[in-house]
Structure 1
Amino acid sequence: MNVPPAALLNKTKKNFIGLPAPLGYVAGVGRGATGFTTRSDIGPARDASDVSDDRHAPPAKRGKKQEEEEDLNDANYDEFTGYGGSLCNKDPYDKDDEEADAIYESIDDRMDEKRKEYREQRRREELENYRQERPKIQQMFSDLKRDLAQVSEDEWSCIPEVGDARNKKQRNPRMERFTPLPDSVLARNMGGETVTAIDPTSGLASMMPGTNTVGPGMVTPSGDLDLRKIGQARNTLMGLKLSQVSDSVGGQTVVDPKGYLTDLQSMLPQYGGDINDVKKARLLLKNVRETNPNHPPAWIAAARLEEVTGKVQSARNLIMKGTEMCPKSEDVWLEAARLQTPEMAKAVIATAVRTLPFSPRLWIKGANLETEPKAKKKVFRKALEQIPNSELLWKCAVDLEEEEDAKILLSRAVECCPTSVDLWLALAKLETYENARKVLNKARESNPKDRNIWITAAKLEEANDNAMLVSKIIDRAINTLVANMVELNRDQWIKDAVEAEQSGSVLTCQAIIKHIIGHGVEEEDRKHTWMEDADSCASQGAYECARAIYAHALAVFPKKKSVWLAAAHFERSHGTRESLESLLQQAVTHCPQEEILWLMGAKSKWLAGDVPAARSILALAFKANPNSEEIWLAAVKLESENNEYERARRLLAKARSQAATPKVMMKSAHLEWALNNLDLAKKLLDDGIKQFSDFPKLWMMKGQILEQEGAIDAAWDVYREAVKKCTQSIPLWSLLAALEERRGRATTARATLEKSRVRNPMNEQLWLLAVRLEIRLGNKEVARSLMARALQECPSSGLLWASSIFLEDHARRKSKSVDALKKCQDDARVVLAVANMFWMDGRKNKAREWFNKTVKIDPDLGDAWAWYYKLELVFGTPEQQLEVQERCVKADPRHGEHWQAVAKHISNWRKKTDEILKIVADKLPIPVPTCQHL
């Protein structure tokens, strides 16, 4: 049959030639190519309506004629200017017109120059405002582009590669869909000859006698598994998966099946990182090594990368190649020795020391690889032959020797390293006293600028009972160092003194303090600086250093009361009773007019049980201060505490006649009140009120005595008169309001408290009294309203915030306590309220923690100690109760609402701190979720 040539052409023509590309087609995507987009595809990064600037000037218009044809229509004719004003525009100007135009133009240019700067500034501002409202796309990302400067190299390397973001259908519209193989394929290939069976003890299967199953879903007709067939089936599945990701174009493949399986088998299960990150890091390090093969860190990093991924042998090979490329690097050799086995590491170090014989680190590594002490010594001796001036090698070698051999080695060491102070001091420590002095003298000659040699010499003399030489050595040391232009660091010398005290060299530390404490301190700053130094030493436990600082300060400032008091408080806390009394005797000799020093001395004697000595001290104090109220009252207290009431009465009578003061009158009445002489007490109070009507405690005592006798009306009259005389006394207002409430006059009590707040604005105690009054009357909402007003007037009052917590419902107390802690973070009363809240919730350990925090913030708050002791009485052990009691006695608290109510009661006037603690704790209720804490 004859076929026309045209038909042959149509038959050979490909069916896709001339047709449009499929949707989403990207050439070469099967080989890993990805599409890209240029600026011309998306246009400029601007809106069409953006205002143009100098960088993006609008294109000039083209295709328009510069001159339009003249319009000669009658409608365009003007009687004066002609057709559109253009009849004469082509005529030449007259000379006068040209001159005038030039003048006007020059004027316009001149005016334009004047306004140019303003106009340009205004244009820039308008453009800037416009850019802020409608920024360009490139400006939107300017802050992110600036942040790219802070991206580290590791973060750059962690950025993933940009892949093809299209979905699967767009990438390959004609892609085949594969369905996972069914289990029947595995079942057909599991028969055949049995090669071996799974070991029942291997943990992979559990073969039970009489059954033919190995785990769930695996049926074995013959009772054994053909592992060869299972392996073949697994390889078949893996091959199918690999063929799915391969590309048949040109016979190339994206994934190497053998390499892929090899990489999977080489991975350690314990490595949890991304394998892609490892490959990137491996590639980067390879590039670094190829670019600069003599860079040691590149080889070390590559070896450690392989070590991390579990390829220890590859790491060893890499680092050994690194030793060939960087033979002069200590770090590479040390890394190679670390990666090798102990035996191979010895060989590596041997090669290293032949290459770098003057590296102490390599020799030390070689010695550490040895297990026998004899071999270690041998290595160090060979090292010292090569590097005799290495201080580090000498120290390591000496550490391995016995005392006698170490002495010989140190003798040689100081010859080879005469500037090593540590070696000189070590040798001096091993020598006898006479030889040590010689060694230290030679050390000073070799190191004239080192202070440690001088300090060691002083310690040596102190250890051999040459106390006279200690101070001379330290003095000479400072003079010699100053002569050698050495800058004396005062803080470092004080630190050396602290270390000397800790090592037992007390004389040395005192000598250092004595000669260095005044160095580099301005004259006007000496007292303040020395007190800070003493506190710092005491906080570090260096009490002898602190005592030496106080002694020097007292020698310089013998008339300063504050220095004597600081030294006395230090001795009372960290010294003995004898040292305190000795110090106070010196203090009253230099400052006889300071009453508190006399009182401290008398109290020390009294606490020691020496009452006659305390009386004698107070008698001397009377001579030095004849009309001192404090000394009179101290003498009265001494006598009354020792049951010498007649002596106390005579002293008070003499004091009233010689130095009548409000406190003397109060103490006189208080003594009679305590001894139940109420008539005499009232008479003394009346005399005191006549002389000192503005002293509120006299009024308070008189009112309380009348209440004790049952004369309520008379007491009310006293309080009413008292608040007129002492309007600022909060306890008087409190007593008056409480008495009116007890008389059943709640409205009057409320009015009294309102009047007191008017007279004493912004007083937290008066607000709290008003709140508690409303709670007792059952007006809880009114109490909350009052508390809100109180917190507005006193926003930082810890007392009010602590009370406001228990005004809230139980569910809202936690949030209220958080607000209270924010407002008054370091207020002990707020912390105490939070501790009680934890106790209410049954969290006793948390409550104990917060009680402890409270007494640390304010040890003088007696209520905190009482609540803490109450908690231990309920939940604690006897040891914990005793601990709280001892801490409270040591703190000796004086304040607190519950504490003062018990301590100031007339029946408890002679009770000690521990007794008051037990009484207060016994009266406190166990916390329950109510408002009783208010």
Structure 2
Amino acid sequence: MASKNKLAFLTQQAPASYVAGLGRGASGFTTRSDIGPAREGPSAEVIAEAQAKRGEEVEPDPESYQDPDNEMGLFAGTVYEADDEEADKIYDSVDAKMDERRKARREAREAAERERYLAERPKLQTQFADLKRGLSVVTDAEWENLPECASCRSRSGEMVNSLDARQQELGGFETPADNSGALTNLVEIGQARDNLLSLKLDQISDSVAGSSSTIDPKGYLTDLNSVHIKTEAEIGDIKRARMLFDSLVKSNPKHAPGWIAAACVEEHAGRMVAARKIIKMGCEKCPTNEDIWLEAARLHNNDDAKVILANAVLHVAQSVKIWLTAANLEHELKAKKRVLRKALEHIPNSVTLWKQTISLETSPTDARILLARAVEVLPHSIELWLALARLETPENARKVLNKARKAVPTSHEIWIAAARLVEQGAMTDDENAPKTQETREKELGIVDMTIQKGVEDLRKHQVVLNRDQWLSEAEKCEADGAVRTSEAIVKATVAMDVEEEDRESTWVGDMESALSRNKIATARAILAYALRVFPDKRGLWRRAADLEKVHGTRESLEAILTEAVKNCPQSEALWLMSAKEKWMAEDIEGARSVLEAAFDANPESEQIWLAAFKFEGQNGKWAVARQLLERARSVANTERIWMKSAVFERQQGNLQAALQTVDAALAKFPQFAKLHMIKGQVLTDLRDISGARAAYAVGVKTCPKVPTLWILASRLEEVDNKAIKARALLEKARLINPKDDILWSEAVGVEERNTGMQQAKTVMARGLQECPSSGLLWRARNRLGDALKKSSDDPLVVCTVGRLFWTEGKVEKARVWFQRSVARNGDIGDCWAWWYKFEVEQGTKEHQTIVADSCNAAEPRHGPVWQSVRKAMPNMSKSTVDILELVAKTIQ
């Protein structure tokens, strides 16, 4: 049999609705194969019919929604000419004419619709329009006889003995109710209302017959005032909750929380009678549950709650909550005591009941008797033992605590209480004679023994508190005033659980942590223990001295420093602190003796030699000061000592001696820039300009990186009227020291003094380009806004802002900015001087004292004006406060 040709369909005629490629979505576009025979494709109707058969949505023609005024397609590329504009105007005029012709008809139609709407839905004022018009015929007498609404409302419940004219005409209290002539008796209506209310109250009373509930008139009125109108959603939730809990208590009647929840639902719904009924049933079903009895007591008034709780103790006599609630319901103290003592008969081992009972006692004797009985019944209650010890005399308290320690050997509170008792006894003098200091210290030593023994005894009973817990107990003792007990706890426990290599850092951290909580005694005790372990640690002694300086007394500080220099004799800082404290206490001989001891311990110490020289100089002992410097040059032989020697001779006016000293110093220390500066200044004082020039030339060649040397050399040329050479020196200095704002500031000053402001501004601009963040240059340019943006940390800039506020009369703001300036850098004396000058003119004596004391503590040493005043010969022996006052008068 011949096989059927599979390609025979290609020669057959296509069906009438056949569209090539429509089944796979290939319709609506033309391919290159379609270009050729140029036969027409399927029509839109055929395509739409085929899409409808397949269930596809027919896409709308986008041209069908085209705006006719928006010409597109055929006319999209045309130009809008004058003829088109004229045509549009003609069409617009025709549209306006047609709209005018339809206007009258449209307005008439809208008016008819509005009248029909008002007739169907009239406004309130239109309904009473005829009555308002009728008011025009009311006479004055009728108007005056109208009753006031307030008087009618206030007399609604009163009895009257007279009738007005209208009542006399109508008869009695009867008034016409309507136009039919029927009369309404208001008295009968009031009586009926009262009878109805009485009937409802009787029904409520009958509905709860057999229960302990009664009607409280005041409570009933309060309930009426607190009625809350609930929304439909809330009512629906209440109904669903009521059905749920009703099913719960029926399926499991012994489940007390279900009864409580059901009663709470009714309480929330405002149905207190139903809530009390439900909770009553719950008490009957679950009589051994204390919560349901407490809830029942809460839902009833005070008298009924007493009855309920009396029934409750018959079923749950061991419930502490029920007894306490019953006691709280009593208003008289005697009744409260009776209830609590009855409770103790049933529950004698309840600490809460004993504490509550004892707290009601007003007599210490009665409270002591109760506590004695309580510790017999509850020997393991630490609170009761401690309370009894506090009420006893010191001797009896010691016995009580001994008994407590035997009864509760695992309590650290008892040991701490015993130590506090010993401390209290040691600090209390005898009635006959006061205790000596030796006796007092001996008794206080028992405190340390008590705590140490307590820690060991607790460890034997396997009770080990960690170090943090013991330190917390120490802080509690300090807060209660038991400072020696706090120290004893620290001494006995601070070394627990600390690795040997971590002891110093751990104890320093503990000390700082205690200080952050303002527990000074605990911090002092930790530091004292650390110093006993590490007596040669200078840092610990410095911390101890700083602690005493802030929180201690001068005597305690001197004692710490005395011990410090004894244990760390090589610490120059500790020697100087000790000498300074004695000097500030005006103990001149004591300070001198400290410095002599410091010399013996540190014979080659530069700081101690210079401190001794400064000390003698400030006390006016110039010959002694010179001898000290001579000895220092031979013993210590440092560059600073030689420099101080030369400066001292210059300040004394011995210029030749100063020159010889500085020459000898330069032979030893040629790289020390300050020696070159001093030599140039001494030669300038001697009027030897060429020699000074040569000294500065050697200096800048030897120390080219020191800007001050270049500045001194430049000023020397200015003094010699050689501004060009001064300018050249500064330019050379800037090449060697780029981006140095001090050199640029000096260059600006040279131009101001010699050429004028215009050239100075040019140099200033160049300097700001090279040093954009220089507060010194910005401040000199008087652009404080830019200065704050570029260098907000510069103390001189901040001080200048304060001066600006001062000139504007903003005193408080100026004070804040002055304070910020010294907080940025307390070493700038000019800032302190400006602040002090401000307080002298604008502040009070207290403000001036605060600034002076703060400046004295900071000891500033730098500042353009401050250094010049400080180093002047007449001011050498003056104090920091004296220099502050002088600089405040000098600055402008």
Q: Structure 2-normalised TM-score?
A: 0.64
For each residue in 1:313-368, what CA deviation from the matched residue of structure 2 results, as whole angstroms up to 9, or x when unmatched? 66897698678669888888878877877677767776777776555455545545
Shift of 1:606: 3.3
Shift of 1:430: 0.8
Q: 1:71 to 1:860 in 2, by over 3 A?
A: same
Shift of 1:616: 3.5
Shift of 1:303: 8.9
Aligned to 2:422: 461
Greater mean deviation of Cα atoms: 436-445 or 887-896 = 887-896
Q: 1:295 to 1:671 in 2, by over 3 A?
A: farther
For each residue in 1:894-928, what CA deviation from the matched residue of structure 2 results, as whole angstroms up to 9, or x when unmatched? 45555445434444322212222323334455xxx
Find 2:466's aligned residue among 489, 492, 505. Answer: 489
Aligned to 1:144: none
Aligned to 1:236: none
* Contact 1:296/1:331 (8 A) holds in 2: no
Find 2:453's aligned residue among 465, 476, 487. Answer: 476
* Contact 1:316/1:339 (8 A) holds in 2: no
The answer to whether structure 1 residue 498 and structure 2 residue 475 are counterparts is yes
Q: 1:681 to 1:366 in 2, by over 3 A?
A: farther
Aligned to 1:914: 881
Tell me how far apart the structure 2 counterparts of residues 201 and 716 of structure 1 sit (CA, whole Å).
114
| Counterpart AA for 1:918 | E
| Number of positions where the alignment pairs a residue of Structure 1 with one of Structure 2 | 677
Aligned to 1:438: 399
Q: 1:923 to 1:286 in 2, by over 3 A?
A: farther
Aligned to 2:410: 449
Q: 1:869 to 1:603 in 2, by over 3 A?
A: closer
The answer to whether structure 1 residue 878 and structure 2 residue 850 are counterparts is no
Shift of 1:669: 1.7
Q: 1:358 to 1:702 in 2, by over 3 A?
A: farther
Q: Which has the higher helix share?
A: 2
Tell me how far apart the structure 1 counterparts of residues 224 and 738 of structure 2 sit (CA, whole Å).
78
* Contact 2:545/2:560 (8 A) holds in 1: yes
Q: 1:366 to 1:820 in 2, by over 3 A?
A: farther
The answer to whether structure 1 residue 678 and structure 2 residue 655 are counterparts is yes
Shift of 1:428: 0.8
Find 1:374's aligned residue among 327, 334, 349. Answer: 334
The answer to whether structure 1 residue 512 and structure 2 residue 479 are counterparts is no
* Contact 1:784/1:807 (8 A) holds in 2: no
Q: 1:665 to 1:360 in 2, by over 3 A?
A: same
| Counterpart AA for 1:188 | L
Tell me how far apart the structure 2 counterparts of residues 345 and 773 of structure 1 sit (CA, whole Å).
98
Consecutive unaligned residues in structure 1, runs of 5 or more: 1-65, 74-173, 204-225, 230-265, 795-799, 926-934
| Counterpart AA for 1:69 | L
Greater mean deviation of Cα atoms: 333-342 or 869-878 = 333-342
Find 1:787's aligned residue among 754, 765, 768. Answer: 768
Shift of 1:457: 0.8
SS at match of 1:418: coil
1:168-183 mapped onto 2 (5 Å cutoff): 178=121, 180-182=123-125
Q: 1:916 to 1:539 in 2, by over 3 A?
A: farther
| Counterpart AA for 1:500 | C
Shift of 1:754: 5.4
Tell me how far apart the structure 2 counterparts of residues 180 and 561 of structure 1 sit (CA, whole Å).
97
* Contact 1:289/1:298 (8 A) holds in 2: no
* Contact 1:333/1:352 (8 A) holds in 2: yes
Q: 1:899 to 1:374 in 2, by over 3 A?
A: farther
* Contact 1:775/1:783 (8 A) holds in 2: no
1:180-195 mapped onto 2 (5 Å cutoff): 180-182=123-125, 185=128, 188=131
Q: 1:290 to 1:913 in 2, by over 3 A?
A: farther
Aligned to 1:257: none
* Contact 1:640/1:648 (8 A) holds in 2: yes
Find 1:412's aligned residue among 353, 373, 384. Answer: 373
Aligned to 1:390: 350
Q: 1:683 to 1:269 in 2, by over 3 A?
A: farther
| Counterpart AA for 1:434 | E
Aligned to 1:631: 608
| Counterpart AA for 1:181 | L
Tell me how far apart the structure 1 counterparts of residues 127 and 891 of structure 2 sit (CA, whole Å).
82
Tell me how far apart the structure 2 counterparts of residues 807 and 337 of structure 1 sit (CA, whole Å).
83
Consecutive unaligned residues in structure 2, runs of 5 or more: 12-115, 136-141, 155-174, 179-222, 249-256, 427-442
Aligned to 2:627: 650
Tell me how far apart the structure 2 counterparts of residues 745 and 769 of structure 1 sit (CA, whole Å).
15
Q: 1:491 to 1:900 in 2, by over 3 A?
A: farther
* Contact 1:706/1:714 (8 A) holds in 2: yes
Identical positions, percent = 41
* Contact 2:741/2:777 (8 A) holds in 1: no
Tell me how far apart the structure 1 counterparts of residues 814 and 263 of structure 2 sit (CA, whole Å).
55
For each residue in 1:745-782, what CA deviation from the matched residue of structure 2 results, as whole angstroms up to 9, or x when unmatched? 77766665555455445656556666777899455586
Shift of 1:744: 7.2
1:36-115 mapped onto 2 (5 Å cutoff): 69-70=7-8
Tell me how far apart the structure 2 counterparts of residues 270 and 847 of structure 1 sit (CA, whole Å).
62
Aligned to 2:148: 197
Tell me how far apart the structure 2 counterparts of residues 715 and 331 of structure 1 sit (CA, whole Å).
102
* Contact 2:828/2:860 (8 A) holds in 1: yes
Tell me how far apart the structure 2 counterparts of residues 729 and 884 of structure 1 sit (CA, whole Å).
33
SS at match of 1:508: helix
Q: 1:728 to 1:480 in 2, by over 3 A?
A: farther
1:129-148 mapped onto 2 (5 Å cutoff): none
Tell me how far apart the structure 2 counterparts of residues 333 and 867 of structure 1 sit (CA, whole Å).
78
Tell me how far apart the structure 2 counterparts of residues 884 and 390 of structure 1 sit (CA, whole Å).
63
Tell me how far apart the structure 1 counterparts of residues 515 and 853 of structure 2 sit (CA, whole Å).
22
Tell me how far apart the structure 1 counterparts of residues 832 and 259 of structure 2 sit (CA, whole Å).
66
* Contact 1:771/1:784 (8 A) holds in 2: no
Shift of 1:445: 3.1
Tell me how far apart the structure 2 counterparts of residues 731 and 649 of structure 1 sit (CA, whole Å).
28
| Counterpart AA for 2:408 | N
Shift of 1:185: 2.2
Q: Name which one, 1 or 2, has greater alpha-carbon Rg.
A: 2
Aligned to 2:812: 845
| Counterpart AA for 2:524 | R
SS at match of 1:182: helix
SS at match of 1:507: helix
Tell me how far apart the structure 1 counterparts of residues 709 and 291 of structure 2 sit (CA, whole Å).
82
Find 1:429's aligned residue among 384, 387, 390. Answer: 390
Shift of 1:646: 1.3
* Contact 2:739/2:770 (8 A) holds in 1: no
1:679-758 mapped onto 2 (5 Å cutoff): 679-706=656-683, 715-736=692-713, 752=729, 755-758=732-735
The answer to whether structure 1 residue 641 and structure 2 residue 618 are counterparts is yes
Shift of 1:393: 3.4
* Contact 1:601/1:614 (8 A) holds in 2: yes
Pairwise CA RMSD of aligned residues?
4.8
| Counterpart AA for 1:197 | E
* Contact 2:320/2:353 (8 A) holds in 1: yes
Q: 1:645 to 1:808 in 2, by over 3 A?
A: closer
SS at match of 1:464: helix
For each residue in 1:71-91, what CA deviation from the matched residue of structure 2 results, as whole angstroms up to 9, or x when unmatched? 888xxxxxxxxxxxxxxxxxx
Tell me how far apart the structure 2 counterparts of residues 295 and 737 of structure 1 sit (CA, whole Å).
99
For each residue in 1:282-334, what CA deviation from the matched residue of structure 2 results, as whole angstroms up to 9, or x when unmatched? 65566456435646996799799x6xxxx9x6689769867866988888887
Q: 1:285 to 1:773 in 2, by over 3 A?
A: farther
Aligned to 1:207: none
Tell me how far apart the structure 2 counterparts of residues 329 and 749 of structure 1 sit (CA, whole Å).
103
For each residue in 1:842-884, what CA deviation from the matched residue of structure 2 results, as whole angstroms up to 9, or x when unmatched? 4433443454455556555545544443443333222232233
Tell me how far apart the structure 2 counterparts of residues 364 and 835 of structure 1 sit (CA, whole Å).
67
Q: Structure 1-normalised TM-score?
A: 0.62
